[in-house]
Amino acid sequence: MKTESSNPAYAGMTSEQIRRFKYWEFRTIAMCIFGYALFYFVRKNLSIAMPYLNEEMGISKSDLGLFLTLHGVIYGLSKFVNGIWGDRSDARRFLVTGLVFCAICNLLFGFSSSVVALGIFWVLNGWFQGMGVPPCTRLMTHWIVPQRLATKMSVWNTSHSIGAGLAIVFCGYAVGLNWDAWFDASSLLSQHWRWCFLLPATVALLGAAIVWALVRDTPSSVGLPELKTGKTTGQQPQTRAEENAEYKAFLRRKVFLNPTIWIIAVGNFFVYVVRFAVLDWGPTMLKEHLHMDISLAGWSVAAFEIAGIAGMLAAATTKTNILGYVAALPIPEVFQGINAYTLGARAVNPNIEVRVVWTSSWYDPGKEADATKALIGMKADVITHHTNSTAVASTCEEAKVPVISYNSAMHKAAPTMLLGGVVHRWEEYYTNEIQKVLDGKWDNTPVWGGANVHMIELADMTPKAPENVASRIKATYAKLEKGEFHPFTGPVVSNEGKVMIPEGKVATDEELQQMMYFVEGVASKVPTAK
């Protein structure tokens, strides 16, 4: 069996050097995730502040839209320019500099009252935001062996969601604090929206100091040999002019004239249009049209989104293309989970087939175990459930079949086969609701909590899970946090061929609460009443 020491990227290194290299590899990835998450911390905070900028500052939605548009354009241009610049710069210095200037722009934004000044500072923030990705990718190419680079990059990509999710939650609660009790009404600091920028900026500055302390640019900067990439480049350029000419030729041939790059760029453009529309305008829409408290606006994505990521995880794991689902009762809540699981799985692998076995009970360990065994007999090689006991997990553990648990992480029941647990987090919700009751401010506004506020998580993944599976979990969860993935966006077709959600339409709460059908890909029939 091939060992790490035999990896050609480590050629010429001693065992001690390889050990140190792996330590620095882990440290670099962790700091890249941490550092880039902070960029989102001082970027997606605007979405929480926007309703207040509209109400308190009189800034129109068209002006806010202009802020966002110019920010996006400058951000895109910056990523391109800084990508070229970042390739030839000290990545550690580049990353920290960008983060510090983003924090400064946020501080200036938080203390400004002029519409023009606010617009300028946010556009400048867009430019410095473009200094986040290039140094992270450069750092990882220096510290990660080529064979693991794609996997590690997908792990790093979770930083987008970590930062955006934390920013939205953090700022939602910051806005809700009683700042006017601490500051005079005439003070700028009594305006709640300003803390959406002042607090994240402070966090970003502290984080920048941590990144500076813990990151190193290249292996040689800590006395380690550089990785052997195995690439042959022929005669190396001898002068600066030759190096520049070679670099320009590379850009022209491999980037500008590369059709694959252009296809990816165009596709990514439309992804970002949808993504930013949801992230930037979602809280405003929820507050204005559903009259939701801003601190709970981020809880608007329903619990079924985690079923979607569970399905994507299962799709990445299955070898038979058959997934099993142990279901309790044929009610809309359960159909939502099964359908989201299926849609998520088929988004990764369109050949996936989901088979369902019903128990007719929320809690019946015997029936759940029998249902699990039946699904294994149907060749299902990844199983999940919407029941409340640990029987599914323990049965999968005995059969050595990967399992995704429901309601809680059941790693004790399936210590080696658990891929993750769909965990419900109620602590913050009940704390907030109880406080509202005590304050006389409670109302019956419905709340559907989602991944973006970690009310529902895919949690407690076993460290024994294959590395590619673990990275896939984190990458797909990141998409949910950012609002990039929603299972019930049309077209959604039933397994009987009927269009249930038209193309381009997202299912409403009312439609979800009446869901009594299986989507395409579920190889089971809807139970009929006896």
Q: Do 168 and 314 have their domain in common?
A: no
The CA-CA-CA angle for residues 134, 33, 192, to 5°, reads 100
Number of domains in the chain: 2
pLDDT band at 326 (very low <50, low <70, confident <90, very high): very high
pLDDT band at 391 (very low <50, low <70, confident <90, very high): very high
Q: In terms of Cα–Cα distance, which of 204, 196, 201 is closest to 38? A: 204
Contact 197, 45 (CB under 8 A): yes
Query: What is residue 171's predicted lDDT score, i.e. its pLDDT?
Result: 79
Q: Do 207 and 310 have their domain in common?
A: no
Q: What is the mean pLDDT of residues 442-453?
A: 68
492 in a structural domain:
yes
How far apart, in Å, are the Cα atoms of 13 and each of 19, 220, 223, 230?
Answer: 10, 13, 12, 15
214 in a structural domain:
yes
Q: Higher pLDDT residue, 19 or 72?
A: 19
Query: What is residue 8's predicted lDDT score, i.e. its pLDDT?
Result: 76
Last residue of a domain, one of 180, 202, 228: 228
Query: What is residue 272's predicted lDDT score, i.e. its pLDDT?
Result: 62
273, pLDDT greater than 70: no
Query: What is residue 27's predicted lDDT score, i.e. its pLDDT?
Result: 92
Q: Do 311 and 439 have their domain in common?
A: yes
Q: Do 203 and 322 have their domain in common?
A: no
Q: Do 186 and 335 have their domain in common?
A: no
How far apart, in Å, are the Cα atoms of 196 and each of 22, 96, 188, 192, 288?
Answer: 38, 21, 13, 8, 19
The CA-CA-CA angle for residues 90, 96, 97, to 5°, reads 85
Q: Higher pLDDT residue, 150 or 237?
A: 150
283 in a structural domain:
no
Contact 193, 52 (CB under 8 A): yes
pLDDT digits (tens, 9 = 90+) for 80-112: 888 888 777 889 999 999 999 999 999 999 998
Q: What are phi and psi of 407, to 5 degrees?
A: 85, -40
pLDDT band at 354 (very low <50, low <70, confident <90, very high): very high
Q: What is the mean pLDDT of residues 220-227?
A: 88
Q: What is the mean pLDDT of residues 419-439?
A: 77
28 in a structural domain:
yes
pLDDT digits (tens, 9 = 90+) for 463-494: 655 565 566 666 666 766 776 666 678 888 89
What residues are paired with 406 via a beta bridge? 422
Q: Higher pLDDT residue, 397 or 333?
A: 397
Highest mean pLDDT among 121-130, 139-148, 159-168: 121-130
Q: Do 220 and 308 have their domain in common?
A: no
Q: Which of 247-256, 346-355, 478-487, 516-525 has the lowest mean pLDDT?
A: 478-487
Q: What is the mean pLDDT of residues 262-274?
A: 71
What is the CATH classification number for the domain harbouring 157? 1.20.1250.20
Amino acid at 234: G
Query: What is residue 310's predicted lDDT score, i.e. its pLDDT?
Result: 56
Specify the residue for token string 């980037």: 255
Question: Domain range for residue 347?
Answer: 304-512
pLDDT band at 254 (very low <50, low <70, confident <90, very high): confident
334, pLDDT greater than 50: yes
Average pLDDT along the chain: 79
Q: Which of 71-75, 123-127, 284-288 has the lowest mean pLDDT?
A: 284-288
Measured between alpha carbons, how far is 87 from 29 in angstroms, rounded to an integer?
Answer: 18
Helix-helix angle 332-348:304-317, to 10 degrees = 40
372 in a structural domain:
yes
Query: What is residue 308's predicted lDDT score, i.e. its pLDDT?
Result: 46
What's CA 37's distance to the chain center, in Å?
A: 10
Burial (0-12, 13-18, 19+ Cβ within 10 Å), 304: buried
Q: Do 67 and 155 have their domain in common?
A: yes
Q: Do 139 and 36 have their domain in common?
A: yes
498, pLDDT greater than 50: yes
For the chain, what percent of residues have pLDDT higher than 90? 24
Query: What is residue 200's predicted lDDT score, i.e. its pLDDT?
Result: 93
What residues are paired with 384 via a beta bridge? 325, 404
Query: What is residue 465's predicted lDDT score, i.e. its pLDDT?
Result: 53
Q: Do 339 and 450 have their domain in common?
A: yes
Q: What are phi and psi of 95, to 5 degrees?
A: -65, -50
What is the CATH classification number for the domain harbouring 487? 3.40.50.2300
Query: What is residue 3's predicted lDDT score, i.e. its pLDDT?
Result: 45
Last residue of a domain, one of 228, 253, 269: 228
Structure tokens at 457: 């998580």
Q: Do 76 and 223 have their domain in common?
A: yes
Query: What is residue 264's predicted lDDT score, i.e. its pLDDT?
Result: 77
273 in a structural domain:
no
127 in a structural domain:
yes
Query: What is residue 302's predicted lDDT score, i.e. its pLDDT?
Result: 32
Query: What is residue 283's predicted lDDT score, i.e. its pLDDT?
Result: 57
pLDDT digits (tens, 9 = 90+) for 297-325: 444 433 333 454 455 556 556 688 899 99
pLDDT digits (tens, 9 = 90+) for 161-208: 777 777 777 877 787 777 777 887 677 888 888 888 999 999 999 999
Which residues, other chains included, contact 95 with Cβ-Cβ below 8 Å and sequence gap of 6+? 35, 131, 132, 135, 136, 139, 211, 215
pLDDT band at 294 (very low <50, low <70, confident <90, very high): very low
Q: Do 222 and 351 have their domain in common?
A: no
Pairing of strands 403-407, 382-386: parallel
For the chain, what percent of residues have pLDDT higher than 70? 78
pLDDT band at 39 (very low <50, low <70, confident <90, very high): very high
Q: Higher pLDDT residue, 41 or 275?
A: 41
pLDDT digits (tens, 9 = 90+) for 372-390: 999 999 999 899 999 989 9
Query: What is residue 210's predicted lDDT score, i.e. its pLDDT?
Result: 96
336 in a structural domain:
yes
Q: What is the mean pLDDT of residues 434-448?
A: 75
What's the residue count for the chain?
A: 530
Q: Do 163 and 19 have their domain in common?
A: yes
